[in-house]
């Protein structure tokens, strides 16, 4: 784990205000969203995307976290699989604001959360049961393929969990199966979000957070080679984005 830098009183106060607004507004939006369940998925999608844009605005205004997106030319507008680095809760928000019809692949446990899980299912989230074996993987691929057939962009975090900046873990092979199901090149994406909003951090540190959308991976590669190229592209770019002299975790060589 990376040692978290000491937070000033101003950072702590701004973080507390952001958390208060984030959880309060999110609870209100979810509750109101339940009243929208009879409406079409398109309208619910716009509602959820509006929430995401509001949260990014709060990050900028309250916490001083500005978001820079590079490689916008690689952002898909139609069916696609986007494999994204996952360092922060920020990563579960930003793609809602960047893509026209994003659908996240989520842990099945998250969809069991009362109220929120119901709204997420209506929105189109794809559940994955990581303990379910081959049948669970097939179900995930089938649901994601159906969403992509309707024009959605499938967002998956191939690490399977949040990691600290600079930490490497083996990527899960399900992302390659998703790419094959959708029939489009996989688009990798890197970030340094964990520097500003850590995975278990209360403090939100000001600065310019970067999301880097990378060129699509080559088509026709064997699965193992495709997974290796994906991991190398995402990890090397995420490492490059870190500030100079950023303390890397001891287990940086894992994977």
Per-residue confidence (pLDDT) for residue 242, from 0 to 100: 95
Q: Model pTM greater than 0.85?
A: yes
142, pLDDT greater than 90: no
Radius of gyration over every alpha carbon of the chain, rounded to an integer in angstroms: 18
What's residue 3's pLDDT? Answer: 63
Over residues 33-41, mean pLDDT: 85
pLDDT of residue 253: 45
Please state the domain extents for the chain: 9-241
Rounded average pLDDT over 71-82? 94
Torsion, Cα 191 226 111 32, to 10 degrees, reads 50
Q: Find the mean pLDDT for residues 120-132.
A: 77
Q: Identify the bridge partners of residue 156 per DSSP, sorted by sequence position.
A: 83
CA–CA distance, 45 with 12 (Å, rounded to integer): 33
165-185 confidence digits (pLDDT tens)? 999 999 988 888 888 888 888
Range scoring the smallest mean pLDDT among 31-45, 82-96, 181-195:
31-45
Average pLDDT, the chain: 89
Statement: residue 1 has pLDDT above 90: no
> Above 90 in pLDDT, residue 206?
yes
Percent of the chain, pLDDT > 70? 95
pLDDT at 147 over 90: no
**pLDDT at residue 247 in the model:** 83
Q: How far apart are CA 26 and CA 47, in angstroms?
A: 12
| Model confidence at 16: pLDDT above 90 | yes
Look at the domain 9-241 and name its fold. Glycerol-3-phosphate (1)-acyltransferase (3.40.1130)
What angle do helix axes 133-149 and 174-182 make, rounded to 10 degrees?
30
Name the pLDDT band for 254 (thresholds 50, 70, 90).
very low
| pLDDT of residue 114 exceeding 80 | no
Across 109-127, average pLDDT? 80
Distance (Å, whole) CA 233 – CA 251: 19
Closest CA to 194 of 210, 183, 180, 171: 210
pLDDT > 50? residue 237:
yes
pLDDT at 217: 95
> Nearest Cα to 69, choosing from 180, 212, 174?
212
What pLDDT, on the 0 to 100 scale, is given for residue 131?
Answer: 67
CA 74 to chain centre: 16
- Strand locations in 78-225, DSSP E? 80-84, 102-107, 126-128, 153-156, 186-191, 207-213
What pLDDT score was predicted for residue 180?
85
Are 165 and 192 within 8 A, CB to CB?
Answer: yes
Greater confidence, 189 or 173?
189
CA distances from 192 to 68, 86, 144, 228 (A): 11, 9, 27, 20
């Amino acid at each position: 784990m990376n040692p978290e830098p000491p937070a000033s009183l101003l950072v702590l106060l701004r973080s507390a205000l952001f958390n208060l607004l984030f959880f309060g507004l999110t609870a209100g939006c979810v509750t109101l969203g339940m009243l929208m369940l009879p409406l079409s998925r398109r309208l619910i999608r716009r509602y959820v995307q509006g929430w995401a844009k509001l949260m990014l605005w709060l990050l900028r205004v309250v916490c001083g976290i500005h978001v820079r997106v590079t490689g916008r030319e690689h952002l898909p507008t139609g069916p696609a699989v986007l494999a994204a680095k996952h360092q922060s809760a920020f990563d579960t928000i930003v793609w809602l604001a960047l893509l026209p019809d994003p659908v996240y692949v989520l842990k099945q446990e998250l969809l069991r959360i009362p109220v929120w899980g119901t709204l997420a299912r209506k929105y189109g989230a794809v559940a994955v049961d990581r303990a379910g074996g081959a049948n669970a993987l097939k179900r995930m691929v089938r649901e994601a393929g159906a969403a992509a057939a309707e024009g959605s962009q499938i967002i998956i975090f191939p690490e399977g969990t949040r990691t600290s900046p600079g930490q490497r873990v083996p990527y899960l092979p399900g992302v390659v199966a998703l790419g094959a199901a959708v029939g489009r090149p996989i688009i990798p994406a890197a970030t340094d979000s964990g520097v500003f909003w850590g995975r278990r951090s209360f403090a939100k540190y000001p600065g310019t957070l970067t999301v880097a959308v990378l060129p699509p991976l080559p088509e026709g590669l064997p699965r193992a080679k495709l997974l290796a190229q994906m991991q190398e592209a995402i990890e090397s770019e995420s490492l490059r984005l870190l500030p100079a002299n950023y303390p890397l975790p001891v287990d940086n060589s894992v994977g």
